[in-house]
Amino acid sequence: EDQVTQSPEALRLQEGESSSLNCSYTVSGLRGLFWYRQDPGKGPEFLFTLYSAGEEKEKERLKATLTKKESFLHITAPKPEDSATYLCAVQEGGSYIPTFGRGTSLIVHP
């Protein structure tokens, strides 16, 4: 069973159509939850770090939230340039080994 599950696997939106990506986790003692964006053929690019339930972070059209069991990445009025794969990763307290989800592939059509 995966410790980090991202859903949906793929999402197609029209420009301006807001939606949310989900990252659920089963690790105990969460130390941090990370969101990354990955463009085709490139390395992941850091977006947000969340440390405790109730925490929220925003950057342009993106907003990340965290509960005790999951995190959401809300995309408001997306643009085609928001098309990418979004990765979620969690770090369990006391562990150096991060666990990444498989990612959500987002395509925003003009």
Q: Which residues bind other proteins (CB under 8 A)?
A: 4, 32, 34, 36, 41-46, 49, 87, 89, 91, 96-103
From the CB of 19, what's the least distance to other proteins, in Å? 22
Which of 54, 97 has the CB closer to other proteins? 97
- In DSSP terms, 70 is beta-bridged to 24
Cβ at position 40, least distance to other proteins in Å: 11
Query: Residue 6 is which amino acid?
Result: Q
The least distance separating other proteins from the CB of residue 27, rounded to whole angstroms, comes to: 13
**Token pair recorded at residue 13:** 């939106």
Helix (H) / strand (E) element for 34: namely: strand 30-38
Residue showing tokens 């987002």? 106
